[in-house]
Amino acid sequence: MKRFFVILGCIGISMGIRAQQTTYTLEQCIDIALKNNLLVSQAENQAGRDEISRKQARLNMLPNLNASVNHGWFFGRSIDNTTNSYVDNNFYSGSYNIGGDVALFRGGYLQNTARQLSMNAQASKMSWQQQKDNITLNTILAYLQFMNAQDLLTQSISQATLSEKQVKRLTVMDSSGAIKPSDLFDLQGQYANDEASIINAKRDVENSKIAICQNMNIPYDSSIVFERIAVPDLFEKVATDANTAYHSALERFSQVKVAEFSLKSAEYGLKAARSQLYPSLSMGYGLGSNYAQSGGRLTDQLKNNSNKNIGLTLSIPIFNNLQARNNVKTAKLFLKDAQQNDQATKTELQQNIQTAYINMTAAYDRYKKLLERVTALQQSYQAAEARFNVGVWNSVEYLTVKTNLDRANIDLIGGRYEYLLRVKIYNYYQGISPEEMKH
């Protein structure tokens, strides 16, 4: 009975441990990575600030209106603000005003500033998207590296299982003196080597899990489980050539859009700076009234003492320490920087796409050859195993063929995931959205 409860307790603990396991899908990993990444959060905040600036710039073109109320007590000889005459007694008075102004002409400064800040807001949104794309790609690549490590572990276990079966078979044969002892020793050495490969493969799996956790910015836990995504055994070659991909990227790649919006922002910035060289015309308006303690009823005084005003102000820049002209020179330099950055971004993108295309094409060609290699070596191994089992071949000949097949299988796994990684990178440079890159 005691033993029964011990077993039952162990089962309960085991079930509790399994219940505590956390499982993530690729989509969940990407969502968590986007939520927890500091650069993404900072880019989002910057986009929010620039959007506020954009709205404020448009509001700055509207008229403004302000009101003021002033009340005070006066002692001794003072001026009554309702009669504008001196009084010698203490009294209480107040004034009420409402007024504002509107810019009629500023050389296009307000309009161009609003357009400039609108371009800044668009650039910030694209920069935010760029950060999200980067994190998405890095998470996908880390996830594929994890799956690659898992497949290599599975292959290592399969190789060790096969070696173990041969060791058991040769152990029985050696006990009866049917084989040379060296054949058994060779297989035992191969089995030990395969078990060492399993240890290395398990290490690589855990390291790849750590890499995913780093992208997600969460603590690593060995119990975390990442669900596998479907990876085909056979791939088709990507048909989109580098030139087509480049022209597609010019319309979609976030970094290109950031450079283009920044260039437009600099162009409007130059126009805004030049507008400060022109005269400006504004209109002011106001309405007010006064009240004094000695003047009678408040409503009557407000009506009788009311005043209105409207006026135009023309400001002509004559000499302001050359500030306006220096602002124009500075804006021209900003524009030059933006033009150079725009061209450099597009040139770098073209180079990156060409490099990604070359790497992807080479990875596909290598994958096809590795597939042919495995197919051929599998047939060779089947023949070698049959010869070894009947004693025609010795252990050295058998292990040579087995080692070649094992290495070919491992290389094929690496080649398959390398091509998949290269395709993801190639699609990234084309400006494929994060949702599309998940598949």
pLDDT digits (tens, 9 = 90+) for 5-62: 444 444 444 444 444 679 999 999 999 999 999 999 999 999 999 999 999 999 999 9
Which domains does the chain possess?
29-62+106-278+319-437 (1.20.1600.10), 73-105+290-316 (no CATH)
Residue 252: is its pLDDT beyond 80? yes
Residue 301: is its pLDDT beyond 50? yes
pLDDT digits 0-9 by tens, 253-297? 999 999 999 999 999 999 999 999 999 999 999 999 888 777 678
Q: Decide which of 53 and 177 is more confident.
A: 53
What is the pTM (predicted TM-score) of this model?
0.84
3-state helix, strand, coil in the chain (%, to 5): 70, 15, 20
Q: Are 220 and 213 in contact (CB under 8 A)?
A: yes
pLDDT at 363: 96
Residue 73: is its pLDDT beyond 80? no
pLDDT at 438: 57
What angle (nearest 5°) sits at the alpha carbon of residue 302, between those of residues 301 and 304?
A: 60
- pLDDT above 70 covers a percentage of the chain that reads 90
Terminal Cα distance for the chain, rounded: 54
Interhelix angle 395-429/242-252, nearest 10 degrees: 40
Q: E strands, 75-175, where?
A: 78-80, 85-87, 91-105
Residue 214 is encoded by which pair of tokens? 């780093």
- pLDDT above 90 covers a percentage of the chain that reads 74
Give buried/exposed letters for 163-187 (b at 16+ CB in 10 A, else e): beebbeebeeebeeeebeeebbebb
Interhelix angle 181-216/26-36, nearest 10 degrees: 50
What angle (nearest 5°) sits at the alpha carbon of residue 410, between those of residues 240 and 230?
A: 50
pLDDT at 303: 82
